[in-house]
Chain A
Amino acid sequence: MIDDETLDRQLREAAPYIDDEGFTARVMTSLPAPQRQPRWLRAMILLGLAILGSGIAYALSGGFIRQGVIQLSNFPIWLLLVFAFGCGLVVGAFAVIFAIRKTPEVRDFTRLEL
């Protein structure tokens, strides 16, 4: 009588690889369409939330923000430019990181390089 190992090997060998023969294509045509919100709607929601958040922050600050802006206007122009440039760099860096994380091709490429 054959042993377990031989039986398992014969069972594995007896199961042939099944050629695709259009099976994957049939599955793909039967898949439901991806349910994604339109890009413009996502952008509008994000913009609306940003404006709403800014408005609430301004209303709750009790004039702090207005006074801060007045004080900023007393600063030398070069300092304001450096401050604006620094803020732009930070926001830009976050945008690049977010874009990389959302783009599969770039994500896979960076993984390959590592």
Chain B
Amino acid sequence: MELTDADLIARVLSDDDQHAFGELVRRHQSSVRGLLRQLTRTDLSLADDLAQEAFIRAYKNIRTFRGEARFSTWLYRIAYNCFREDARKRKELVGVDEELLQAEHDPQIVDPGLRHDLMHALNLLPLHERTAIVLCCQNGLSHDEAARVLDIPLGTVKTNVLRGREKLKRTLAAWGPN
């Protein structure tokens, strides 16, 4: 029987079992790195550095994890904080405005593959909408969980998801992938 996240966390807490923490990293590395790749606009090395920092922070602070939320939600929150701190340092915490989004609508410059188009459209969204879409639509978090990860009101998350979805739909419709 495969151990649950809670079992592995209990091992880390009671025995400082680093192998158990390694298993947690193995389980969640893909989703955490995927989230950070979206946030950093596919800057792979930066995303992986931030993911590594996030897991190290999670290990150091695992005693503060009270099990009220899913472990993955807690990890996303740490990863998002790592990204925000790094972005603040780099002064890049700005989204792409509507004008740029409209300019990027030209179907001539876009790869015809639907997935590629979708990811491209996702990358064009402002940061707050992109983050909400990635957490809720791609990683399956509830609006409430996403609000906790991003530390913003629930209504704001819902608005960001709604707006992000609408923009993606509009963008995909304009590209006419079918």
A23 B52 Cβ-Cβ under 8 A: yes
A32 B114 Cβ-Cβ under 8 A: no
Other A-B pairs, 11, CB within 8 Å; known A4-B165, A26-B52, A27-B52: A10-B114, A10-B115, A11-B137, A11-B138, A12-B137, A18-B29, A18-B33, A27-B56, A28-B22, A31-B56, A104-B20
Is B78 interfacial (CB-CB < 8 Å)?
A: no
Is A69 interfacial (CB-CB < 8 Å)?
A: no
Interface residues on A, range: 20 to 34
Question: SS class of chain A's interface: helix, strand, loop or mixed?
Answer: helix
How many pairs of A and B residues are in contact by the CB < 8 Å rule? Answer: 87
Contacts of A28 in B (CB 8 A): 18, 21-22, 25
Is B172 interfacial (CB-CB < 8 Å)?
A: yes
Closest CB of chain B to A42's CB: distance in Å?
14
Task: Across the A-B interface, give the 9 residue pairs with the lowest CB-CB distance, nearest first.
Answer: A34-B16, A14-B115, A18-B30, A8-B137, A24-B25, A27-B55, A11-B138, A11-B137, A24-B26
